[in-house]
Amino acid sequence: MEVKAPIPVIPAPIWRNIKDLQEWEQFRQHRPEGDKHSALFESVTEGVHAFPGGFVLTTAADAFFNWARKSSVWPVTFGLACCAIEMMATFASRFDVERLGMVPWASPRHSDLMVVSGTVTIKMAPMLERIYDQMPDPKWALSMGSCANSGGPFRHGYHVVKGVDRVIPVDVYVPGCPPPPESLLNGLLLLQDQISHFRRTGQRAAPNPKVD
């Protein structure tokens, strides 16, 4: 009698069964109270919005403000590892992010965007958090490279934070090891797209669509 070997059935990956993604959901940092705004500005906007026909003005103002925000994103220079070389190449003349209105700035207090480029060690994470806290609202964070996204090749080491989204809330993830300047430019354009929908939805864009 012939005994058939069991045919291995490999199930399709399901989001909730992947341990890393469960960890991502568990440990990702959120903005629980949203972005901080001026209370006076908020109340004036609410008043105008409640006025009959005032929504035309507020939506137009929102569109204008978002256009202004996305047209002058100033990234704070925060190079941590080899990804910083690609970031510098992106900021330099060949790829030239200044045509998108971005100026790499050496002070977090004048910046809107933090490009976390490289490996975040457990020792560096408090400093990263502190620099992020010094940036004025509204602010965005872009995680660049495998190390900042998930720990990358050092994920199973002892000294690396398993993704910078465990330290600060992240808006755009750029994959790659390291990502070439084209990838980073694509990420910056995605970020600009998110910024243009910033106040209209009242909250940040969802980080990634889930595939189940």
Partner 1 sequence: MTHEEAATLIGEHFVGAQVQGGSPLAVTVPVDRWVALARFAKETLGCRFFAFSTAVDWKDGGLEVIAKVDNLDNQLSVLMKTRLGTGVSACPSLVPVYRGANWMERECYDMFGIRFEGHPDLRRILLADDWQGHPLLKSYAVDTPHPPYR
Residues that bind partner 1 (CB under 8 A): 27, 122-123, 125, 156-159, 161-162, 166-167
Q: Which residue has the tokens 């969802």?
A: 206
Please state, in angstroms and rounded to a whole number, the distance separating the CA atoms of residues 84 and 8. 44
Q: Which residue has the tokens 């202004």?
A: 68
| Inter-residue contact 183 to 95 (CB < 8 Å) | no
Q: In the bound complex, what is the minimum distance in angstroms from residue 129's beta carbon to partner 1?
A: 9
Q: In the bound complex, what is the minimum distance in angstroms from residue 50's beta carbon to partner 1?
A: 41
Nearer to partner 1, 99 or 123 (CB): 123
Q: In the bound complex, what is the minimum distance in angstroms from residue 210's beta carbon to partner 1?
A: 22
Structure tokens at 55: 């929504």
Please state, in angstroms and rounded to a whole number, the distance separating the CA atoms of residues 67 and 61. 10
Distances (CA, A) of 17 to 9, 29, 199: 16, 21, 34
Nearer to partner 1, 164 or 191 (CB): 164
Q: In the bound complex, what is the minimum distance in angstroms from residue 203's beta carbon to partner 1?
A: 24
Nearer to partner 1, 162 or 199 (CB): 162
Q: Tell whether the torsion through CA atoms of 57, 60, 66 and 69 is positive or negative.
A: negative
> Which letter does DSSP use for residue 75 in this model?
E
Nearer to partner 1, 148 or 184 (CB): 148
Structure tokens at 156: 């199973």
Nearer to partner 1, 109 or 159 (CB): 159
Q: In the bound complex, what is the minimum distance in angstroms from residue 161's beta carbon to partner 1?
A: 5
Q: Is 76 helix (H, G, I), strand (E, B) or coil?
A: strand
Structure tokens at 36: 């901080």
